[in-house]
Structure 1
Amino acid sequence: MLNFLRFHLGAVLSRFAKRRRYKFADMPGWLLLFLAAASGAQAAFYQNILSDVGPMYLKAFDKVGVMGLGATGTILTIALGYCVLVFFVSGLLFARTADILKNRWLP
């Protein structure tokens, strides 16, 4: 579902960027609202993953160490790193979008 939203948001942004020079703050209000909702939902989704899987991963890592994790642990480490990265990026995008909307609509 998130990939579907990401694909359509990318299509809308590319059409918007072709019309004139792309500036994030110049985007229409409805698109900024959608972007804020999508990035907030994505941040919440990855936060749930990290809060569920993170403690289990740390317990396993403490028991066996870095060499005992093997291939599955390596894949899990990469996946959790990706979750952390996407969580922070989507959180920053949400904060930036909310700041633009606040400056646009509030005096």
Structure 2
Amino acid sequence: MSIKVDVADIARTLRDFDLAYLISVDAQGRPKVIAVQLQVEGAALVSLHGSRGTAANLQDNSSVTVLCPPREPSGMSLLIDGQAVAEGERFRITPENAILHRPAPPGSAPNR
């Protein structure tokens, strides 16, 4: 089950989440996942710290996904796709789209 989140509503939606993970991919297609603390700066999300591996990935491929897991097991995760650039020790992420997502209940009809 997925619910689209308007990019303009991401800052407000993020308040409902405690954790965030930044997912990047290297030139060979291998993913790298790091835990990040995010703050909103205008229309961008900025991580308060980074990693050398992720910074290297962003040089080859600026597309990223931010995953914010739910607080409760039955809750919804927030997934944000966007473009990121390294800025010293931080990463600036420009969101392009976002969804709230959770698995459909057992026995429900699949989305088509």
Greater relative CO (CA pairs within 8 A, separation 6+): 1
- Greater share of strand: 2
Q: What TM-score comes out, normalization by structure 2 length? A: 0.22
- Greater share of helix: 1
- Structure with higher Rg: it is 1
